[in-house]
């Protein structure tokens, strides 16, 4: 059963939380409202959207299962056990192919989805990961409908202050939808190698003393901002987008 929320309230709460960050000015009510506004399924969540989410979830389960089976195969000494695990992996691979075909067919059956899907796939890094665009569409239907700060907070890649009284903590990321950064991280990893904008951006940060984890999170956020800007402006990928996401 879907649990809805007023999208305008969700946007207002996200903005309020971003403006205040994690300081003494945030009270429990704002944090609770932010969670209520951003985590439940939006109202009007269509049957097709639910089907896409189910397919993406099942795909993730199969990928995790395959990884576990591969680890078992490497650790197995008995021939019978290794053969059994290999057959299991073969079965998982066949299921993954069927799930992938179903995902593509479902996305292409919807004109709006197909347009969004093609735009996302045009981005170097996203296109290299066959299912990343579909994962983002399933788990982040707000993409292209919020501003960059709200989107980064929703996904959990926005840096927040951790200040309290006279204490001034390092800016950290927290919250967000746990499933989305997984797909986004795969795309960001590929983008640091194949996307000219992200590659140059990533190369600059270590010179500023940024540790690898901070650099990678920044790349995820940069890529997310680009994707969001593309869908907001109905644009295909182009290096010029870097100037729109400064």
User: pLDDT by residue (tens digit) across 187-202?
Assistant: 888 889 989 899 989 9
Phi and psi at 168, nearest 5°, equal: -125, 105
Instruction: Flag whether 80 is in a domain.
Output: no
Q: Cβ of 198: how many Cβ atoms within 10 Å?
A: 26
DSSP E strand stretches across the chain: 159-164, 167-173
Instruction: Flag whether 87 is in a domain.
Output: no
Quickly state the pLDDT bin for 98 (edges 50, 70, 90): very high
Q: For residue 243, what are its two tokens?
A: 């100037």
Q: How far from 18 is each of 73, 83, 90, 218, 244, CA to CA, in Å?
A: 47, 53, 46, 17, 21
Average pLDDT, the chain: 76
pLDDT at 243: 60
Instruction: Flag whether 55 is in a domain.
Output: no
- Quick one: what percent of the chain has pLDDT higher than 70? 67
Instruction: Flag whether 229 is in a domain.
Output: yes
Give the range of the structural domain holding residue 172, as residue numbers without chain letter. 7-45+110-244
Give dist(CA 218, CA 201) in Å, integer.
9
Summarised one tens digit per residue, pLDDT across range 222-244 is 988 899 989 988 888 876 765 65
Whether residue 206 is predicted with pLDDT greater than 60 in this model: the reply is yes
Single out the residue of 14, 10, 11, 22 nearest to residue 159, CA to CA: 22
- Domains in the chain, number: 1
pLDDT at 31: 47
Quickly state the pLDDT bin for 73 (edges 50, 70, 90): very high
| Residues 160-188 as b or e (16 or more Cβ within 10 Å = b) | bbeeeeeeeeeeebebbeebbbebbbbbb
Instruction: Flag whether 182 is in a domain.
Output: yes
Instruction: Flag whether 220 is in a domain.
Output: yes
Instruction: Flag whether 202 is in a domain.
Output: yes
Summarised one tens digit per residue, pLDDT across range 113-126 is 889 999 998 998 88
Summarised one tens digit per residue, pLDDT across range 141-178 is 888 888 888 888 888 776 644 444 443 444 444 444 55
pLDDT at 42: 46
Instruction: Flag whether 139 is in a domain.
Output: yes
């Amino acid at each position: 059963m879907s649990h809805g929320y007023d999208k305008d309230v969700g946007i207002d709460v996200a903005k309020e939380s971003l403006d205040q960050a994690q300081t003494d000015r945030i009270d429990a009510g704002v944090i609770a409202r932010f969670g209520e506004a951003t985590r439940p399924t939006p109202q009007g969540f269509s049957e097709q959207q639910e089907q896409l989410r189910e397919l993406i979830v099942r795909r993730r389960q199969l990928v995790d299962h395959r990884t576990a089976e591969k680890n078992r195969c490497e650790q197995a000494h008995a021939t019978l056990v290794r053969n059994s695990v290999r057959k299991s992996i073969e079965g998982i691979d066949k299921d993954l192919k069927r799930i992938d075909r179903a995902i593509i067919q479902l996305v292409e059956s919807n004109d709006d989805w197909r347009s969004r899907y093609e735009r996302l796939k045009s981005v170097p890094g996203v296109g290299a990961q066959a299912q990343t665009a579909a994962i983002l569409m399933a788990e982040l239907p707000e993409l292209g409908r919020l501003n960059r700060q709200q989107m980064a907070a929703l996904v959990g890649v926005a840096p927040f202050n951790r200040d309290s009284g006279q204490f001034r903590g390092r800016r950290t990321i927290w919250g967000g939808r746990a499933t989305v950064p997984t797909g986004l991280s795969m795309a960001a990893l590929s983008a640091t190698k194949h996307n000219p904008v992200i590659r140059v951006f990533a190369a600059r940060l270590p010179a500023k003393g940024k540790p690898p984890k901070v650099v990678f999170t920044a790349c995820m956020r940069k890529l997310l901002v680009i994707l969001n800007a593309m869908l907001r402006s109905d644009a295909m990928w182009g290096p010029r987008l870097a100037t729109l996401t400064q």
